[in-house]
A and B are shown apart, each in its own frame.
Chain A
Amino acid sequence: MSAVANLLAFLGLLAALLTVWRQSHQGRLRLLVAQALLLAVMAAAIAVLSGHRSLLGVAVACAIIKAVVIPRALGRMAVGSPPRPVAPGRSVGGALLIAGALVVVSYVIMLPVTQVTTLPTAGALPLAFAVALIGLFVCVTGRDAFTHVLGFLVFENGVFGLALLGAYGLPLLVEVGVFLDVLVIVLIMEGMVVEIRREHASIDVDRLRELRG
């Protein structure tokens, strides 16, 4: 069980690191889908291996919402906006280096958690948390709405993985609420991006500078 969890969480982390590296919207979108599918597989694997059958439903919901519906909405956001080239003097290498450092940070922060949890999957917790941190990093440093939402979703995937690995998922009511929540955020964001594009003819956030001080 812990070998399966470690492998899947590691692949998820790899997808997150590649998200930092890739620059094209389509490439990043495909990585997000891959990551969501890995999460669904992880939920299904834990369901089968641990006997928590209700997680099978979570796996299906994850595959549908996180791997199909949300990436589609995100894809609509990306339409008509070319990816921003990396600014001169700032290479992807630097970003990757920071992402690598975040993995180490994640192990440090998760130390008190991994020390006390007794579940066989607990060893993979820092990997899932590293995905969350990298997502946060992508979101905070993003320069356009697409990257903001993408980073947020990677972050969300990491936290979802954390709940799966650390507690075999959350109580059902909360799980449903969280899925709905992410979906609504992405849909509202999509609506806003359409409006921003109409107003500013771009989804580049540098143009949003009306409110200062």
Chain B
Amino acid sequence: MSALILLLVPLLGALAQSALGRARLAVHLVTAGLTAAAAAGLVVAVARDGVVTTLFGLLRADALSAWMVALIALVAGVAALEAAREARAHGGPGDRRFFALFHLFVFTMLAAVTTDDVGVMWVAIEGTTLASVFLVNAERTRESLEASYKYLLICSVGIALAFVGTVLLYCGDVDAMGAAEHALRWTSLREIAPTLPPRLVHVAFVFLLVGYGTKAGLAPMHTWLPDAHSEAPAPVSALMSGVLLSVGLYAVLRFKAIVDLVPGPDFSSRLLVALGLASLTIAALFLWASGNFKRMLAYSSIEHVGLVSLGLGFGGPWGVAGALLHVANHALAKATLFVLAGRIRAAYGSAEIARVRGLRAAMPLTSRGFLAAMLALMGLPPFGLFVSELMIFRAGIEAGYVAVSVIAVTLVVIAFGGLLRSLHHMVNGEAPAAVHETSTWASIAPAALALGLLVLTGVAWPPGLAASLDRIVAVVAR
């Protein structure tokens, strides 16, 4: 029941935007609040019962789903507050279509992580592209139009490849269990996986990994990502980078859990490690060459997606738990950064790093949040990304990927240098006289909350965190 409510809230909220024109800002905020409450309800229900199912098993939330639901709701809350702030700053009640699509976008992501049917999951993930493509083009400039065109085309082709994989898996599956309505259920596939023909499953997984990897922004399928993330308005970038990429990785993890049960060599891990290294390499190189700070944040997303892919590839309890914790840490840090980057861009009138100087003097409050979140993103203690990166590398060494781990650490250090250089340029120096602080203590509160959570995951795990990660590891265990 709680899963159904969770999906209905944002969907009805999106519909209400077109019905109730006057109060659109209020409807937007109420929808965001109710979505967060419904997500909390689902997380509590899963913690209590282990697994929650509704609609004849079509919707099913286990510990992994609950983890993703919590993240999506958290980032969506931060993004929704920022969208409302931006709308107020422009003096109008905001664009109705923007708010409607915003909640539709959240709905599709929530649907993707709470359905048990991998076919429906495919439809939902494709739906994330369709709902967000107009959001990328919300500012209606030449650049944003081009970015959204690239985004729609590349992600549609990518996701269609994932569809090929799903169909191939279904072909093998239909032979085993007949064309039943539940033949594409993840739980059924897990049950019959040991009897599926290994080579067919491997071919299917290649398509699934390339397809969902495109949505996740794994190199070399990442080319849409820097454009879309840098051209979208700040709240949308926060959602895309913070959780949309992770939804792609979530799909990969679900299928990896099926492939791992098939006899034969450890096929999926090696592919994930290879794509992870490719992503880290691309990101480390481009982080030294970025001229635009939103693009810099986008390339850093590719870096972190690569790290998560490595964690999933290394496998084992440390790898999976580290990867999932890293997904959460990255979501918190990156959502904060994109929100603050949007304010910096508005204040300086440019997203070029060369044009942004003296942030510390000109925008003291924003600059403090931006600096702290950047340090967190670079993986420095006491923030959580430090811990999750350590977990991932520990998994790598335990699994015998010593050389890969050493290369990956080196690439992370190179990326660190690139980020630090840009950060130094932005924060220090002399500010233009026209730039003024736009953040208030109230409007920086969500960012402060996210940073506080990052310190918690870095220093003192709140009760229940270790247990949730354990349960997730058990869900996808071999």
Q: Which residues of A contact B (CB under 8 A)?
A: 52, 109, 112-113, 115-119, 125, 129, 132, 136, 139-140, 145, 148, 152, 155-156, 159, 162-163, 166-174, 177-178, 181, 184-185, 188-189, 192, 195-196, 199, 208, 210-211, 213
Q: Is the CB of A196 within 8 A of B149?
A: yes
Closest 10 pairs (CB-CB, A-B): A174-B119, A177-B123, A112-B199, A166-B171, A116-B197, A167-B174, A211-B227, A208-B146, A163-B167, A210-B143
Q: Is the CB of B175 within 8 A of A116?
A: yes
A–B pairs, 9, beta carbons within 8 Å: A112-B203, A113-B168, A116-B175, A155-B157, A174-B184, A177-B122, A189-B153, A192-B149, A211-B226
Contact of B171 (CB < 8 Å), options: A113, A172, A177, A185:
A113
Q: Is the CB of A170 within 8 A of B184?
A: yes
Residue of A nearest to B197 (CB): A116
Q: Is the CB of B160 within 8 A of A170?
A: no
Q: A162-B167, A192-B149 are in contact. Are A171 and B184 (CB under 8 A)?
A: yes
B77 to chain A, nearest CB (A): 28
Q: Does B67 contact A (CB under 8 A)?
A: no
B201-218 vs A, Cβ < 8 Å mask (1 yes, 0 no): 011000000000000000
Q: A109-B203, A113-B203, A162-B167 are in contact. Are A156 and B160 (CB under 8 A)?
A: yes
B107-137 vs A, Cβ < 8 Å mask (1 yes, 0 no): 0000000000101101100110010011000
B58 to chain A, nearest CB (A): 8
B98 to chain A, nearest CB (A): 16
CA distance A170 to B203 in the complex (A): 19
CA distance A157 to B167 in the complex (A): 13
Q: Does B94 contact A (CB under 8 A)?
A: no
Contact of B119 (CB < 8 Å), options: A117, A177, A185, A196:
A177
Q: Is the CB of B147 within 8 A of A211?
A: yes
CA distance A189 to B146 in the complex (A): 12
Q: Is the CB of B197 within 8 A of A188?
A: no
B23-36 vs A, Cβ < 8 Å mask (1 yes, 0 no): 00000000000000
B267 to chain A, nearest CB (A): 12
Residue of A nearest to B121 (CB): A174
Q: Is the CB of A188 within 8 A of B143?
A: no
Q: Is the CB of B119 within 8 A of A170?
A: yes
Give the chain B neighbours of A132 by CB distance below 8 A: 164
Q: Does B14 contact A (CB under 8 A)?
A: no
Give the chain B neighbours of A171 by CB distance below 8 A: 117, 119, 179, 181, 183-184
A154 to chain B, nearest CB (A): 11
Q: Does B48 contact A (CB under 8 A)?
A: no
Q: Is the CB of B164 within 8 A of A185?
A: no
Q: Is the CB of B152 within 8 A of A166?
A: no
Q: Is the CB of A152 within 8 A of B145?
A: no
Give the chain A neighbours of B89 by CB distance below 8 A: none
B89 to chain A, nearest CB (A): 26
Q: Does B93 contact A (CB under 8 A)?
A: no
B454 to chain A, nearest CB (A): 30
Give the chain B neighbours of A129 by CB distance below 8 A: 164
Residue of B nearest to A129 (CB): B164
A207 to chain B, nearest CB (A): 9
Q: Is the CB of A196 within 8 A of B145?
A: yes
Q: A159-B163, A213-B291 are in contact. Are A118 and B197 (CB under 8 A)?
A: no
CA distance A188 to B131 in the complex (A): 10
Q: Is the CB of B142 within 8 A of A117?
A: no
CA distance A159 to B171 in the complex (A): 12
CA distance A109 to B163 in the complex (A): 16
B434 to chain A, nearest CB (A): 26
A136-B157, A152-B153 given; name 13 further pairs at CB < 8 Å: A115-B199, A132-B164, A167-B167, A171-B117, A171-B179, A171-B184, A174-B184, A185-B130, A192-B145, A192-B152, A196-B145, A208-B150, A213-B290
Contact of B170 (CB < 8 Å), options: A139, A145, A170, A208:
A170
Q: Does B289 contact A (CB under 8 A)?
A: yes
B166-204 vs A, Cβ < 8 Å mask (1 yes, 0 no): 011011111100010101100000000000010110110
CA distance A170 to B167 in the complex (A): 8
CA distance A188 to B290 in the complex (A): 31
Residue of B nearest to A207 (CB): B146
Residue of B nearest to A136 (CB): B157
Q: Does B438 contact A (CB under 8 A)?
A: no
Give the chain A neighbours of B2 by CB distance below 8 A: none
Contact of B130 (CB < 8 Å), options: A117, A139, A181, A192:
A181
Q: Is the CB of A173 within 8 A of B156?
A: no
CA distance A104 to B174 in the complex (A): 26
Residue of B nearest to A177 (CB): B123
Residue of A nearest to B173 (CB): A167
Q: Is the CB of B142 within 8 A of A210?
A: yes
Give the chain B neighbours of A119 by CB distance below 8 A: 175
CA distance A178 to B295 in the complex (A): 33
Q: Does B388 contact A (CB under 8 A)?
A: no
CA distance A31 to B52 in the complex (A): 48
Q: Is the CB of A178 within 8 A of B123?
A: yes
Residue of B nearest to A189 (CB): B152
Give the chain A neighbours of B295 by CB distance below 8 A: 213
Q: A177-B119, A177-B123, A199-B142 are in contact. Are A167 and B203 (CB under 8 A)?
A: no
Q: A117-B171, A118-B175, A185-B130 are in contact. Are A148 and B117 (CB under 8 A)?
A: no
Q: Does B148 contact A (CB under 8 A)?
A: yes
Contact of B120 (CB < 8 Å), options: A125, A155, A173:
A173
Q: Is the CB of A148 within 8 A of B146?
A: no
Q: Is the CB of B152 within 8 A of A188?
A: yes
Interface centre among B142, B173, B181, B290, by most A CB within 10 Å? Answer: B142
Residue of A nearest to B199 (CB): A112
